Structure 1
Amino acid sequence: MQFSPRRRCANGFSLLEMLLVLFLIGLMASAGLMLTEGVEDQAKYDETKRRMEMMRRAIVGDPTRTVNGGPEISGFVADMGRLPGCVAELLQLGAEKTPATDPRTFSSPCDNTVTLTEWHIDADTGIASGWRGPYIQILPERNGALRFRDGYGNSDASDAQNSGWAYAVSGAVVSLASETFDPVDSGDDMTAAQLVVGSDWQINSISVNFVNQNASNAMPDSDVDLNLRVYLSTLDEYVTGDDGLTSSLTISAGDIPVSDERSNTFSFDDSNAIPMGRRGYAVVCHEVPAGNPDSYVIFDGDCDKDNNPTPTSANIRGFSAVPRHNLTLDWIIK
């Protein structure tokens, strides 16, 4: 009897099967890459939004925080009384001015014709003001430059002023946009947002309680025209409030009864709105002394130009200018 040799079965993958497996592996890799890319883009977007909020707080502070029961007053506007001209003003000062001054003064990194004064207390008004940044804490880059880039890392090397952001100031509004990371079309950007609006940092009206502490005379003894003068830093830097219709507020003779009070509202239009921060105020007579157009006298129950005092640090009173709050100040007449 003869036996034929046993045939061995060949084990392995056919070419078609191998191609199918490679196709499936490539498909899975592509899907994973797409998912990873989406997560990375979302992280960059979220970081950009976080940095926009950091910039907003650097400009107008955080109104949700309180100090001693009142809103915290902080940020560039509270110190400087204006909006930053560019992002760089939140990070650093420019070159110091020569000859040296006291307090020291510096060129703005946005415009070297603009002067920034360091934080100080003015002797004539008792009001503290000036640059006391940096308002955003960052580490220098490898070349020593200070940049506050968006979450995508965009920053033209020549754009030292805005670190790659589309930053613009128009009136009382700061608009901000960030270019997204797009190697094909660098013009694709996030929609410009109003980062700060006027109501975030400006006050347009203040009520004043005229308190008559004189026990024998109603005030005033004759009609007077008054202004509320709010000092921002020095005696020369102030804004003036009126009755909202004319250039002053008229109080008629005897309108403030004996040992009583009355309240009036002074208005400030958009051109001279009060910036948030620690400010000073005085009620002054609308008509200035003859021959001295730069001087005003304090209203102390009348507007006698010969006897009434002029505003000084002794009679300028301090207050906190807080946006979106009803502000009422007292003016006491003895």
Structure 2
Amino acid sequence: MKKKFRTENGFTLLELVIVLGLIALVTHLAVREMWQWRRSKLGDVAERQLEELRSAILGDDYERDVDGMRIRSGFVADMGRLPQAVWLTNTVPWRLSLAELWLAPPAAERFDVRPAIAANMVAGSEAADFDGEVYVAGGWRGPYIRMAVGARELRDAWGNPFTVPDDAGYVERLLDPAGDSVTNGAPVAVIRYFGADGLYDNGVEPLNRADRDGEIDLLERAWTNGISGLAITLNVVDGDDSAVIGAEATFRVYSPVGGKIAVHSVKKSNTSGQVVAIVGGLTPGPRVLRVEYGGQKSLPRRVMLAPGINTVTERVVYK
């Protein structure tokens, strides 16, 4: 009787090594591509984060209330100034940060509606600017950004803190209006991230797109001597709508500064029945305008300022 031998088909050791090698290669390429995709997406996340910071600080040009009226919110609208660099004392070592955006200040700087009387004015205000008929809304009513649960500091998309210094010791993440690294109490005008590698490029283009730095300049759209300016055209008429010439007009814009009120004023002579004045050094947000002409004052008027130059027309009937 003949014996039957069973034959089995299978892989040789060499074939198995080749297959495993191909699987490893494909896996490596897939992981690398996925990592590159993730790095590029984190760059998009970082850009959105900067825009969210800009909106939290300066507000949004397209904000409207329920009635469709233009409004402006954000830290500067409420506080009348840029956020200041403050010490984070819950880190070792202490770091300068944007903590004003999420940590409440002393009670005196909380949001309220205050009359423009002596007790509420900033130091050095002139008595002629005190006005009990003018009420200014202002003060901190944050938090202005949403922090992750348990987070002690604000970090970028790669987990690096927006602090001075950062984890790598760089001091270029937060800059003041002069372009220098911030000091305690200095206004923050530029906020930066340093890409996937966390390294400061210092103007040198990195080889990898994901390593590029990014920034927002809060004063990029600023007017000449302030974040905002207000150009006011005043028409002065008498009871029969004919032009009145001869007196001096005083334009006052009342703004919050923390828990206090500041006044920016300009005086202009009326030589044609129409007076044009520009009040500078302002910040975006709801402000109060009042014009005085020949001892008479207009009604207080709420004006909504955006970054850059704003225009408004006012009319005074002189009696």
TM-score, structure 2 as length reference: 0.68
**Does residue 69 in structure 1 map to residue 75 in structure 2?**
no
Query: What letter matches 2:285 in structure 1?
Result: G
The amino acid that maps onto 1:280 is V
Q: Is the 8 A contact 2:163 2:173 kept in 1?
A: no
- Please state how far the C-alpha of 1:315 moved relative to its aligned partner: 5.3
Match for residue 143 of structure 2? Answer: 134
Residue aligning to 1:293: none
Runs (5+) with no aligned partner, structure 2:
86-97, 117-133, 179-186, 202-210
Distance in 1 of aligned mates of 2:188 and 2:233:
28
Tell me which amino acid in the other structure corresponds to 2:251. L
Q: Give 1:6 shift.
A: 6.8
| Contact residue 212 and residue 332 of structure 1 kept, 8 A | yes
Q: Tell me the residue number matched to 2:287.
A: 279
The Cα RMSD (Å) is: 3.5
Amino acid at match of 1:155: P
One-letter identity of the residue aligned with 2:265: T
Report which stretch shifted further, 34-43 or 194-203.
194-203
Aligned to 2:231: 206
Matched letter for residue 157 of structure 2: G
1:168 positional shift: 2.1
Q: Deviations over 1:291-324 (max 9, x none)?
A: xxxxxxx423xxxxxxx37x8xx95443222345
> What residue number does 2:103 align with?
92
Q: Take 1:156 and 1:226, find their aligned partners in 2: how far apart are those partners?
A: 46
Deviation at 1:9, TM superposition (A): 5.2
Aligned CA distance change for structure 1 residues 199 and 77 (closer, same or farther; 3 Å) = same
Distance in 1 separating the partners of 2:34 and 2:9: 38
Pick 1 or 2: higher relative contact order, CA cutoff 8 A, min separation 6: 2
Is the counterpart of residue 196 in structure 1 residue 189 in structure 2? no
Give, in angstroms, the shift of residue 37 of structure 1: 0.8
Residues 21-60 of structure 1: matches in 2 within 5 Å? Answer: 21-60=19-58
Gaps of 5+ in 1: 97-103, 106-116, 242-247, 257-261, 284-297, 301-307
Q: Work out whether residues 231 and 279 of structure 1, in 8 Å CA contact, stay in contact via their aligned partners in 2.
A: yes
Deviation at 1:216, TM superposition (A): 9.3
Assess, with a 3 A threshold, how the Cα gap between structure 1 residues 216 and 131 changes in structure 2: closer, same or farther. closer
Give the total of aligned pairs: 262
Matched, 1:170 2:170: no
Q: Are positions 1:215 and 2:240 aligned together? A: yes
Aligned to 2:207: none
Q: In structure 1, what is the equivalent of residue 270 of structure 2?
A: 251
- Identity, in percent, stands at 25
Deviations 1:109-135 (A, max 9, x none): xxxxxxxx1111122331111111111
Deviation track 1:215-242 (CA, whole Å, cap 9, x = no partner) reads 398634xx4443422111489611123x
CA distance in 2, matches of 1:317, 1:81: 18
SS at match of 1:204: strand
Q: Secondary structure at the match of 2:83?
A: coil
1:178 CA drift (Å): 1.1
| In the alignment, structure 1 residue 299 sits paired with structure 2 residue 289 | no
Letter in 1 for 2:281: A
One-letter amino acid of the structure 1 residue matched with residue 15 of structure 2 = E
The code of the aligned residue for 2:115 comes to: A
Question: Displacement of 1:136 after TM fit?
Answer: 1.1
Q: CA deviation at 1:55?
A: 0.6
C-alpha separation between the residues in 2 aligned to 1:33 and 1:228? 64
- 1-side partners of 2:147 and 2:172: how far apart? 16
CA shift for structure 1 position 213: 3.8
- Asked if structure 2 preserves the Cα contact closer than 8 Å seen for 1:45 and 1:151, the reply is yes
Post-superposition shift, 1:47? 1.8
